[in-house]
Amino acid sequence: MNKPGEGHDARQRLEQTSPLMQDLIVARLSRRNLIKGAVAGALVVATGCSPSSREVVVRSGSVEMGRFLFPELARGISEDQAVADGYTAEVLIRWGDPLFADSPVFDPQHLTAESQSRQFGYNNDFIGFVPLAPGEHGAQRGLLCVNHEYTSSNLMFQEFSWVFRSWITKATCDVELAAHGGSVVEVEAVEGQWRVVVGSAFNRRLMAKGSPMLLTGPAAGHERLRTSFDPTGTQVDGMVNNCAGGITAWHTWLSGEENFDGCFLGEVDQTHPEARNHALYGIPDAWYQWGRFYPGFDVSTEPRSPNHYGWVVEIDPLQPTSTPKKRTALGRLKHEGAESIVALNGRVVVYMGDDEKFEHVYKFVTAGTFNADDRQANADLLDHGTLYVARFNVDGTLNWLSLVHGRGPLTAQNDFYSQADVLIETRRAADLVGATPMDRPEDVQPSPRTGKIYVMLTNNDERSSRQVDAANPRADNVYGHIIEITEAGGDHTAESGRWEILIRGGDPSDVSVGALWHASTSEHGWFGSPDNVAFDADGRMWVATDGNDGCDGLWGVETDGPLRGASRAFYRAPIGAEVCGPCFTPDGQSLFLAIQHPGDGELASYDSPETRWPDFKELVPPRPAVVVIRKNGGTKLIG
């Protein structure tokens, strides 16, 4: 989600650490633009050929180089979604839809926690697809693993008021707690028509409360994780603000807890041992009033409780009764996603972003190796390994700086007494080792085809001209950019690499924006605020936005070849919504998108939303939903 006012604490740290680099940046960017211009001038020709007169086809000799062969969708904004000609986008599951045989029918005027706990949650974000064996008559089957990031109370509750808080009761808080978390949903397709398998034994709801989880790894059991309701320091009753994530090679679901600061209210004395820690994460931020009814969300009574959140949670969707595990080895931050890849030496590398202004890009490298023959052997792979944070150097090189207790500044001299302290205060450790403060790192995704890693830097309107650096070259960066990382030797476990800016968002026809796209990118093809990213079955990169000028959507972005840096519009969300979770089936025939907070906007409410998508019925509020997109005729989406 795109929330205002993030990052003020981090900004103060940046001013102390970031040198002025303007001259070097200008030199670097000029060189990049020259290369871009040369390629574009040599190879791009606009044609009036099929499939549409708007399409730009690039040829080198007789070979078509463009990889996104669909008619580009026009820029615009509407109450309904829109997809490129020749494709169909259908709603698969909405907030409140049933998951179990006994799930109550959705009744938006009588929401209860009990009902919500048996229904699909709110604000779907990450989508993962875990394939299952084909069903009867060859039906394609799989499990969707879906995060429910947060609740939009203004659109959920008819009694909501922007002015008074009297509408907030224990009952409304319980509904919110039950609408957070995640869902596992079995889906199946017969002749390309997807449907939810209501009552599947795999279906599961995970919530912010009432979903027991374990803290594992180096910080588990540490006294800073012990509370009055959990003297062991290992148990948590749920997960919150789960944003993006990833599916591992052994088909578990990694779910990133992001803006957990908003779950806490109360205050701690500035002399309290956790006060500095909480300040660095913006705690308490009191978006929700849960702490009025549950002390675990009130730092006045449970000052260590926030240390239970901000982790990557590993969930086994194939074992519906398994206990999710918060993997502390991966660090505590505002986790956007956790996308992993198996390195050549068999170790698993998880790439992660900390989504706040001036925060950092991380990776975790497992100590052990992936076992393709024994799924259970990978069960606790993520409890042991090394956490790194990225420093983007001005010369285009990159260093992964290890966050290991006892190394460099991570010692008792700086109040790090163990690896648990390093992990609980990951942000402070990253600052001390000299990590580069970035423009809100969202999804960080390795390409399965090339091994290159793509970092979505969504925006940062608080970066001043004094704070620009090579990797974050624009002040007041409202459109964001995408960085490409190449690990040294193609080895994902390497401690160094190179980086380059792939695109800078915004309208390329307005020179004051400072956008950077391949010259073939049309007026519809540029975007701002890249957020989630996925690669399709053939290795094409697709980028979803949150906060794009006018309307969010999904774009195809060329990452290599003569069209590198070109972008093409494919899908547009209904007004007020962001697009999350792009997720392709392994056969490349279906694309799932999570449409989050449709109808939201300034002063939008249950009675007055900006759209009532997807039901379009009076008194039925807009509903976040997962849509599935297919090519008409049922072939691969592209080609």
Is residue 443 a contact point for Ca ion (CB under 5 A)?
A: yes
Element of type H or E holding 194: strand 193-196
Is residue 552 a contact point for Ca ion (CB under 5 A)?
A: no
443 interface partner picked from Ca ion, ligand FEO, none, CB below 5 to 8 A per type: Ca ion
Question: Which amino acid makes up residue 496?
Answer: S
- Rounded to the nearest whole angstrom, what is the least distance from the CB of residue 127 to ligand FEO in the complex? 14
Give 531 or 536: the residue with its C-beta nearer to Ca ion. 531
- Rounded to the nearest whole angstrom, what is the least distance from the CB of residue 295 to ligand FEO in the complex? 26
Tell me the pairing of strands 312-315 and 253-257.
Answer: antiparallel
What whole-number distance in Å separates Cα of residue 95 and Cα of residue 116?
9
Give 132 or 156: the residue with its C-beta nearer to ligand FEO. 156
- As beta bridge partners, residue 128 has 145
- Rounded to the nearest whole angstrom, what is the least distance from the CB of residue 121 to ligand FEO in the complex? 14
Give 335 or 630: the residue with its C-beta nearer to ligand FEO. 335
Using DSSP's 3-state secondary structure scheme, residue 141 falls into: strand
Q: Which two tokens stand for residue 493?
A: 């476990």
Tell me the pairing of strands 339-342 and 347-353.
Answer: antiparallel
DSSP-assigned states of every residue in 91-127: EEEETT-B-STTPPPP-TTS--HHHHTTB--SSEEEE
What whole-number distance in Å separates Cα of residue 502 and Cα of residue 609?
37
Element of type H or E holding 429: helix 426-433
Q: If you ran DSSP here, which 8-state letter would residue 404 be given?
A: -
- Pick the stretch among 134-142, 267-275, 515-523, 533-541 that binds Ca ion (CB under 5 A): 533-541
314 interface partner picked from ligand FEO, Ca ion, none, CB below 5 to 8 A per type: none
Give 123 or 426: the residue with its C-beta nearer to Ca ion. 123
- Rounded to the nearest whole angstrom, what is the least distance from the CB of residue 336 to ligand FEO in the complex? 4
Strand intervals (E) in 325-440: 325-327, 339-342, 347-353, 357-359, 361-369, 385-392, 397-402, 438-439
- Rounded to the nearest whole angstrom, what is the least distance from the CB of residue 337 to ligand FEO in the complex? 9
149 interface partner picked from ligand FEO, Ca ion, none, CB below 5 to 8 A per type: ligand FEO
Question: Which amino acid makes up residue 504?
Answer: R
Backbone angles phi, psi at 426, to 5 degrees: -55, -40
Give 1 or 82: the residue with its C-beta nearer to ligand FEO. 1
Q: Which of 471, 458, 473 is nearest to 546 (CA)?
A: 458
134-153 binders of Ca ion (CB under 5 A): none
Q: Which two tokens stand for residue 230?
A: 């959990």
Give 336 or 383: the residue with its C-beta nearer to ligand FEO. 336
Residue 361: Cβ-neighbour burial (10 angstroms; 0-12, 13-18, 19+): buried
- The residue ranges that bind ligand FEO (CB under 6 A) are 1, 149, 243, 258, 336, 355, 442
Give 219 or 534: the residue with its C-beta nearer to Ca ion. 534
236 interface partner picked from ligand FEO, Ca ion, none, CB below 5 to 8 A per type: none
- Pick the stretch among 26-34, 78-86, 161-169, 529-537 that binds Ca ion (CB under 5 A): 529-537
Q: Which two tokens stand for residue 78?
A: 């509407």
- Rounded to the nearest whole angstrom, what is the least distance from the CB of residue 635 to ligand FEO in the complex? 33
Among 97, 484, 531, 610, binds Ca ion (CB under 5 A): 531
- Rounded to the nearest whole angstrom, what is the least distance from the CB of residue 256 to ligand FEO in the complex? 8
What whole-number distance in Å separates Cα of residue 352 and Cα of residue 360?
9
Helix, strand, coil abundance in the chain, percent, nearest 5 = 20, 30, 50
593 interface partner picked from Ca ion, ligand FEO, none, CB below 5 to 8 A per type: none
- Rounded to the nearest whole angstrom, what is the least distance from the CB of residue 243 to ligand FEO in the complex? 3
Give 122 or 517: the residue with its C-beta nearer to ligand FEO. 122
- Rounded to the nearest whole angstrom, what is the least distance from the CB of residue 126 to Ca ion in the complex? 7
Tell me how many degrees the CA angle 367-372-378 measures, rounded to the nearest 5.
45
- Rounded to the nearest whole angstrom, what is the least distance from the CB of residue 449 to ligand FEO in the complex? 25
Give 142 or 310: the residue with its C-beta nearer to ligand FEO. 310
Number of residues this chain uses to bind Ca ion (CB under 5 A): 5
234 interface partner picked from Ca ion, ligand FEO, none, CB below 5 to 8 A per type: none
Is residue 354 a contact point for Ca ion (CB under 5 A)?
A: no
Q: Which two tokens stand for residue 16?
A: 């102390």
Torsion of CA 425, 429, 435, 438, to 10 degrees: 20
Give 258 or 431: the residue with its C-beta nearer to ligand FEO. 258
258 interface partner picked from ligand FEO, Ca ion, none, CB below 5 to 8 A per type: ligand FEO
For residue 603, what are the contacts with CB-CB under 8 A and spacing of at least 6? 162
Q: Where do contacts with Ca ion occur on this chain (CB under 5 A)?
A: 442-443, 445, 531, 534
